[in-house]
Amino acid sequence: MNDNLRYALAAARLNTTDVAAALAVDPKTVSRWLHGRVPYPRHRWAVADLLHVDEAELWPEVAPRHQALADGIQAIYPHRWAIPQTVWRNLFGGARREIGILAYSALFLAEDRGILDTLTDRAKAGVTVRILLGDPEGQEVAARGVDEGIGAKVMAARVNNALTLYRSLRDVPSVEIRLHRTVLYNSIYRADRELLVNTHAYGTPAANAPVMHLSHTDDRGPAATYLSSMARIWNIAQPCPK
């Protein structure tokens, strides 16, 4: 399933019939693209033009591979939804020491059964899993809901939904969930020395904001700043009630 293409079509309010008509192809062909088949280059370029996005956002597997942008910066994704699902699974699945999640709700991860299974498996293998979510009763969660334009109550409900879905992890050894009352400028997802840093922007849902893929190379690199931030928030956060 090509989730990137599906999300981009939804954002553009287009369906398979619309794309088929614009490219003069059969709707079944577009459906195959949505189910994972990679189109010919001319069709990829046409779809990207139609959706006003870069080809690499829709089919990152065929995009040219580049060296790291700078020391410690591996990639920059234009939107969180543009990150291939394999990147998330490889990030957490490859952890050998520690996994960290810092967000207000991280509901998109909690709703992914495969990610939950991966976190469970890693924790049972001895990996420390630390999940930091916003306190649904705190004003910081409410303010973020207003910032995103969804409202304070909706954001609090998203956190509570995530906590319900993460419940299966609470009794797993090496897993701890805490609640924070911190203003976040980024959501951070960590696996050992690799981080995905989802920036926050006023009036923009986190799913639509850019994400940096960082590697912790040394204490002067960009990843060190975010690792330090996670550690400080973890130390002042409160354990999640059972």
Q: Evaluate if residue 64 carries a pLDDT over 80.
A: no
Give, rounded to a whole angstrom, the gap between the first and last alpha carbons of the chain. 36
- Whole-model pTM: value is 0.72
The residue with greater pLDDT, 120 or 67, is 120
Average pLDDT estimate for 52-78: 73
Ordered by where they begin, the domains of the chain are: 3-62 (1.10.260.40), 73-239 (3.30.870.10)
The reported pLDDT for the residue numbered 63 is 60
Instruction: Let me know: does 69 contact 76? Beta carbons within 8 Å.
Output: yes
**Amino acid (1-letter code) at residue 82:** A
The reported pLDDT for the residue numbered 236 is 95
* 118-173 pLDDT tens trace: 999 999 999 999 999 999 999 999 999 998 888 889 999 999 999 999 988 988 98
Average pLDDT estimate for 236-240: 94
* 189-203 pLDDT tens trace: 999 999 999 999 998
Question: Tokens 């805490």, residue?
Answer: 178
Q: Evaluate if residue 68 carries a pLDDT over 60.
A: no
225 contact partners, CB below 8 Å, separation of at least 6: none
Q: Which of 67-76, 79-88, 140-149, 184-193 has the lowest mean pLDDT?
A: 67-76
Q: How far apart are CA 169 and CA 182, in angstroms?
A: 23
The residue with greater pLDDT, 58 or 220, is 58
* 170-189 pLDDT tens trace: 889 899 999 999 999 999 99
Burial 155-185 (b: 16+ CB within 10 A, else e): bbbbbbebbebbeebeeeebbbbbbbebebe
- β-bridge mates for residue 176, sequence order: 130
Q: Evaluate if residue 66 carries a pLDDT over 60.
A: no
Please choose, from the candidates 199, 206, 187, the residue with its C-alpha nearest in 3D space to the C-alpha of residue 76: 199
Q: Evaluate if residue 22 carries a pLDDT over 70.
A: yes
Q: Which of 97-101, 204-208, 215-219, 235-239 has the lowest mean pLDDT?
A: 215-219
The reported pLDDT for the residue numbered 168 is 85
The tokens for 149 are: 């334009």
The reported pLDDT for the residue numbered 132 is 97
Average pLDDT estimate for 17-46: 91
Q: Which of 14-18, 78-82, 140-144, 232-236 has the lowest mean pLDDT?
A: 78-82
